[in-house]
Structure 1
Amino acid sequence: MRIDLHTHAKLSKASDFSTAYYEEMIREAVANGLDAVALTEHFNTRRFFEVYENLDRMYPYNGEYYEAGSLKIFPGMEVDIRETGHILLIGRKEHILEARRHLEPYTEKGRFIPFADLLTLAEAYPLLKIGAHPFRASTPLHHLDPAELRRLDAFDLNAKDMYEYGSEANRERVERFAAALGKPVTAGSDTHQCLQYGSVFNELNHPCGSVAELKQAIASGAYDIHVADSLPLQVKASVMLKKLLKRLAQLETESPAPAVAIGESSPQGA
């Protein structure tokens, strides 16, 4: 079973969820050989709960994951912490949504939840807890208390950081950091659009039908991480596409179609 443990449903936190956009992403995930993804949308994205309301209309949910044809979508979210850093939480939909409701007072920058408090909240549910991109310059984790870091289940080997800092160098740094804390490393593309799927993924030794099984497979090392030779090209193309799509969305907002006055007909041949 091939799974990407760090993915997004929207182009950006400021954008609305688009059914057509996400359906295209799912088609590309399958085309790139994935069997499953964890949907770790930002917890403070615009209209967070609407993401899952839309998924409920799009795909059957069996109590553990959404069934998007052959692809399993495990619910999750990516949470900012006060000390700087991002934490991925993955679990059953009801647990993710309940934890998100508890985070409502902490969605604004400058008011994010302290790391220890987030861990305590997450530990109230059977969630998979992954430290995202621990050496990203803007949101590192390596500066945090090792005792608190050991409460996580794994650390994220992130495709964006492998592109930014060098694939092998970043992987060695993350693996060395995780090993010092006695924790495994998992792979996540961190994609916000379709081109980045398949750049990195985890290949489990056997299929997992629940987050509990995922946690067990990761804890026991029953998986391998695969890094595509095309990762630099995929991520570079993804970055360029994301910028283009965001710019197009901005232009559409800035240039609405001209209104036609009531009773006024359009020019002939327009």
Structure 2
Amino acid sequence: MKIDLHTHAKLSKASDFSKHYYEEMIREALDNGLDALALTEHFNTRHFDEVYRQLDSMFPYNGEYYDAGGLKIFPGMEVDIRETGHILLIGRKEVILEIRRRLDGYTEKGAFIPFDDLMDLAEAFPLLKIGAHPFRESTPLHHLTRSQLSRLDAFDLNAKDMYQYGSEANQDQVQRFAAELGKPVTAGSDTHQCLQFGSVYNELQMPCESADELKSAIMQGAFQLHVSDSLPIKVKASVMLKKLMKEIIRLQSPSAVI
């Protein structure tokens, strides 16, 4: 099973969810050979709950994932922490929505939840917990203590960072960091725009029907990372198209929030 573990449904946190836009995302994910993805939308995105209400109207949900024309969409979200950094949480929809509800008072910069409090909350539920882009200059994780980092299940090899900092250099850095902590490394495109799908993905040795099975396979190391030779052009094209789309929206509707 080929799965991307860090994806977004919207062009930006400030924009509204668009069914048409996300349907295009799904088609591109399928065209790139993916069997599944984790939808890790930002927890403080505009109208977070609306994303899942819209998904409920678009695709059947079996209690573990949405079936989008054969593509499994596992619910999740990306959470900012007070110390600086992002954590990916992946699990059943009702769990993700409940944790998001409990984060209502932590959505603004300067008031994000402390890492330890987030882990206390997340560990009360069956979730896959991934440290996102641990060496990104703006939102690193490597500054946290070893005991804190050990509470995570894995670390994110991020396509955007590989493009920005150099594919091999960033991969080596993340792999060494995770190995020192005895943790696996998972791949995530971090895409907000469909062209980035396929830049990186994880190939599991068996299909997974739940987030719990997904976590088990990752913790057992029963998967391989794949990095596309086309990663630089995929990410560059995605970044350029995202900027162009934002500008088109701004010109069409100067008052639009994007």
**If the TM-score is normalised by the length of the shorter chain, which range does it land in?**
over 0.9
How many equivalent pairs are there?
A: 256
Residues of 2 paired with 1:38 and 1:82: CA distance?
Answer: 24
Give the partner amino acid of 2:99: A
Give the gaps of 5 or more residues in structure 2: none
Residues of 1 paired with 2:40 and 2:199: CA distance?
Answer: 17
Residues of 2 paired with 1:148 and 1:142: CA distance?
Answer: 10
Give the partner amino acid of 1:60: P
Where 2:83 maps in the other structure, the secondary structure is coil
Tell me which residue corresponds to 1:143. Answer: 143
Tell me which residue corresponds to 1:50. Answer: 50
Residue deviations 1:139-162, cap 9 Å, x none? 000000110110000000000000
Residues of 2 paired with 1:39 and 1:196: CA distance?
Answer: 14
Residue deviations 1:143-193, cap 9 Å, x none? 001101100000000000000000000000000000111100000000001
How large is the RMSD of aligned CA atoms in angstroms?
A: 0.9
Dislocated runs of 4+, deviation >3 Å: none
Tell me which residue corresponds to 2:116. Answer: 116
Where 2:152 maps in the other structure, the secondary structure is coil
Residue deviations 1:28-70, cap 9 Å, x none? 0000000000000000000000000000000000000000011
Q: CA deviation at 1:16?
A: 0.2
Residues of 2 paired with 1:255 and 1:73: CA distance?
Answer: 32
Where 1:120 maps in the other structure, the secondary structure is helix
Where 1:254 maps in the other structure, the secondary structure is coil
Once the two structures are superposed, the pairs formed by residues 125-136 of structure 1 within 5 Å of their partners are: 125-136=125-136
Give the partner amino acid of 1:43: F
Structure with higher Rg: it is 1
Tell me which residue corresponds to 1:262. Answer: none
Residues of 2 paired with 1:76 and 1:183: CA distance?
Answer: 20
Tell me which residue corresponds to 2:28. Answer: 28
TM-score by length of 2: 0.98
Identity fraction in percent: 76
Q: CA deviation at 1:108?
A: 0.4
Once the two structures are superposed, the pairs formed by residues 153-232 of structure 1 within 5 Å of their partners are: 153-232=153-232
Q: CA deviation at 1:255?
A: 7.7
Give the gaps of 5 or more residues in structure 1: 257-270
Residue deviations 1:211-253, cap 9 Å, x none? 1100110000000000000000000000000100111111122
Give the partner amino acid of 1:208: C
Tell me which residue corresponds to 2:101. Answer: 101
